[in-house]
A and B are shown apart, each in its own frame.
Chain A
Amino acid sequence: MVKSSKRLTLKQKERRKFLGSIALAVGVTGISLLGMVPVIGKWVERLRPPGALLEKEFLAACIKCGQCVQVCPVEAIKLADLTDGLGIGVPYIDSRAQACDFSCDGLQCVLACPTGALIHEISFPSQVDMGIAKVVQPAQCLAVLGQGFKGQARGPDFPGLLRYADIDRWNPIKVADHPYDLELCDLCVRQCPIEISIIECALEDQREPTGKVARVAQRQENECPPKHAIELRDINGAMTPVILEGCVGCGVCEMICPIEPAVIVMDASDSRANSRGMRT
């Protein structure tokens, strides 16, 4: 080994070093470009945090710091691994495991984002457009089957959190600690943050029908969702969950659905009508 390298002239050595260096640079570049494969191949379609831009812009703008992860009170946001290629270190939400239930109210992740990958103009859950819920197996749905639900929605071992305003307005608790007893299962509608917000707004209006001006100062313009997100509709005698225009794709209905696999799942693709960023 040593002998052969001694025999090389200085020029040959230089040439070898130069070629080696090119191989190094090309190798590093090549490996980094492999990161494009999962992205171009759309191997993973992730539900992104509230306010996320269209996937391409989102991947470009995200600086992969995880500040959104740190502020989320229900720890819904995770960072992707190298298997996501360019999406490494980019936040996503596995809504079946832990959905974003907007229990921070003020969209903390959006405020935390230093680069605008989560659009800063957004202030209220109803302006969010993470995705849209899809009823994928209506035949399994308890409501469609006319059945009720009793017990813990996802079993005793499910670690997921939800905010139950009637129990604690400020601190989310385990879904497992909040058993239900329903004559007809309507968990997806009952726990929908948009639907809850609509009910709260209506109650507030009822409570103080005369004090509207005073309340306007407290309650900002877009705080109350303008449109419903989900309802149980009587279709040919079966109460069927129907996703409406107000759905923001938060994934709570998917998380709370007691059927395995879930009757409702999130569509997080860019191809939806309202696509990512902020609703207008």
Chain B
Amino acid sequence: MVESLRVLLGGTPRRISKKDMPEEVRELHQHKFADKERIEAIHIELREKAANKQPEKWRRKRWLVLAAVNLLFLVSYYLDIQLLEGALTASRFAGFHMADLNSALQVMLAFKHVVINLLIGTVTIFILWWLLGGRTFCSWVCPYHLVAEWAEMLHLKLVKKGWARDYQFDRRSRTWLWLVFVILAIVTGYTIYETISPTGILSRALIYGPGVALIWVALLLLFEIFFSRRAWCRYACPIGLTYGFVGITSPFTVHYELPNCFHEGECRKVCLVPHVLDTVLKGRAREIEVDIGADCTRCLRCVDACPTGALTVKFKGLGDLL
């Protein structure tokens, strides 16, 4: 858990020496590649997969959920059915208050006064996203995530052609920005971050109509397309970090099983936050089974990408209940 927090804040995943690993794990690391036939079979499968691209199962579901949540705001407003009122920053679902944790944090720090409705909304959303995995908000609800995903597809194509590059930043910049916006909210008494929040801007643009603010979102996307893959989500967004904190102890995780992993690296290629998949590298896993850390957005693209089923969706505790 401490390691998960450290990586979330921008630290590089630590390696542990072979000596400190349980014997079983050490053994697995050493003898994994004896099964040459199996590995050859995996490679054939991967080549076939690359030749005729199938739609990703989880990604399709995720886009559907993301579109549904965001469109529900719009539909609810236009049909005046009061099912989901407001925007992503704060809303009411069938009358129940909900408040985006980062927006609520900014308001509380700037206004220095918390009305009961905001508290109810914040606690509700906290519990909800703790259950669902914290940064699950990012990949399953945030509208910027979706457009950034499309921009990423374009970015990868352009990189292949040599027309764009992926300049990588230090991931600690997000932690610094999170702190800066917390301090700015306290000191200035304004919710400074909300001015540039692409999540808020896009959510409001969808519900209340587009505006000049979309230019800022477009600039961010252009930056990501030409200079740095998924830069906003990876290196800047304080919302992501706030939900990351919530997800540290979440029961919902992506689950890694070392015996099934043949270190093909397919998962890291598609991952928004590949540092959380450090454990899949050869010789890194500390245990036979590992839960992926808090910075994981549970987008489940790795689950779809893994050719050997080493990564699965897991709801901790539910297994015991059933």
* A interface, CB within 8 angstroms of B: 17-18, 20-22, 24-25, 28-29, 31-36, 39, 56-57, 59-67, 69-71, 79, 81-83, 85-86, 88-89, 112, 114-117, 120
Contact = CB atoms under 8 A, between A and B. Distances in A.
B180 A82 contact: no
Interface in B78-124: 85-87, 89-92, 97, 99-100, 103-104, 107, 110-113, 115, 117-118, 121
B170 A116 contact: no
B232 to A, nearest CB: 9
Q: Which of A28, A59, A69, A85 has the most CB atoms of chain B within a 10 A radius of its CB?
A: A28
B267 interface: no
B85 A86 contact: no
Nearest to A89: B204
A17 B195 contact: no
16 contacts: A18-B170, A29-B177, A29-B180, A29-B184, A32-B181, A32-B196, A35-B192, A36-B190, A57-B111, A59-B190, A59-B191, A63-B90, A81-B211, A86-B195, A88-B195, A115-B117
A115 B87 contact: no
A123 B169 CA distance: 52
Nearest to B121: A114
Given A56-B190, A79-B208, A114-B99, 11 more contacts: A32-B192, A33-B184, A35-B196, A36-B190, A63-B90, A66-B207, A67-B86, A69-B208, A86-B190, A86-B195, A115-B107
Given A28-B177, A114-B99, A63 B104 contact: yes
B307 interface: no
Given A64-B103, A66-B204, A89-B194, A114 B92 contact: yes
A31 B196 contact: yes
A89 B212 CA distance: 11
A261 B181 CA distance: 43
A32 B195 contact: yes
B236 A115 contact: no
Contacts of A39: 190
A67 B91 contact: yes
Contact of B118 (A56, A71, A85, A114): A114
Given A24-B173, A31-B196, A32-B181, A114 B213 contact: no
B189 interface: yes
B63 interface: no
A85 B192 CA distance: 9
Given A25-B180, A60-B111, A115-B115, A79 B191 contact: no
A155 to B, nearest CB: 25
Given A63-B103, A67-B90, A81-B213, A28 B196 contact: yes
B115 A65 contact: no
A25 B181 CA distance: 11
User: Sorted from nearest, which 10 A-B pairs have the closest CB atoms?
Assistant: A35-B195, A21-B170, A65-B90, A116-B115, A82-B213, A60-B110, A65-B86, A81-B211, A61-B111, A21-B173
Contacts of B115: 114-116, 120
Interface of B: 77, 85-87, 89-92, 97, 99-100, 103-104, 107, 110-113, 115, 117-118, 121, 167-170, 172-173, 176-177, 180-181, 184, 188-196, 200-201, 204, 207-208, 211-213, 215-216, 231, 235-236
A70 B85 contact: yes
A117 B117 CA distance: 12
Given A25-B176, A28-B236, A63 B85 contact: no
B142 to A, nearest CB: 15
B168 A17 contact: yes
Contact of A64 (B89, B111, B118): B89
B172 A21 contact: yes
A20 to B, nearest CB: 6
A36 B194 CA distance: 12
Contact of B89 (A21, A81, A89): A89
A63 B200 CA distance: 10
Contacts of B196: 28, 31-32, 35
Contacts of B99: 63, 114
Nearest to B228: A24
A17 B170 contact: yes
A25 B169 CA distance: 10
A221 B172 CA distance: 57
Contacts of B169: 17, 20-21, 24
A78 to B, nearest CB: 8
